[in-house]
Homo-oligomer: A and B are copies of this chain.
């Protein structure tokens, strides 16, 4: 697990035809994820037993995958130990994992990750940018806010939105517009043309928001 850092690594996890921001908890050299029942990622992990952690630094992609599905054409297949997995084509690095459910709670699966293959494709410098960082935080808060309506979360989202405007670049501003659009639609109950917005669980009752980033909200220390 040379690429993971200690603590919670917020990656974009790809599973069978799906991508979602997930926190990988790396403590005592063991990597785990917490996946909420009925999320796409949880369903895929139970069915297929693998995930790929994509290290990528595009703020728009974090927001997009938090709230909607990527088309399958945005993923590329990768054969790992005889299994066909999927990853993001523009990931700077990725780790393919065997994913085994370690235990279940009423709310979630605790999944243990065993690395099968690590790849560094193209590392780039990402200077510390509080605008990018605020997109990540605002997205985490937004996925919870659309379910709880907690005014403290809204205050944090507004705080981070203001930092994005001040410190971000064009790509962060684009991500912010997208995020605020999802929030508006969730607040007005208008799901628009997006089939999988937070307010609308899909036919199997799986919610896009239920799996999103929740990891980062759990204390696994």
Contact = CB atoms under 8 A, between A and B. Distances in A.
Interface of A: 3-11, 23, 55, 57, 92-93, 120, 123-131, 133, 136-137, 140, 156, 159, 165-172, 216, 218-221
A167 B23 contact: yes
Contacts of A57: 128
Of the candidates A4, A127, A156, A172, the one having the most CB atoms from chain B within 10 angstroms of its own CB is A127
B221 A125 contact: no
A10 B123 contact: no
A127 B10 CA distance: 7
A130 B137 contact: yes
Given A133-B137, A137-B133, A166 B8 contact: yes
B136 A128 contact: yes
A7 B167 contact: yes
27 contacts: A3-B127, A5-B126, A5-B127, A5-B129, A5-B169, A6-B169, A6-B170, A6-B171, A7-B167, A7-B168, A7-B169, A8-B129, A8-B167, A9-B128, A10-B128, A10-B130, A55-B127, A57-B128, A123-B124, A126-B126, A128-B136, A130-B140, A156-B159, A165-B219, A166-B219, A166-B221, A167-B216
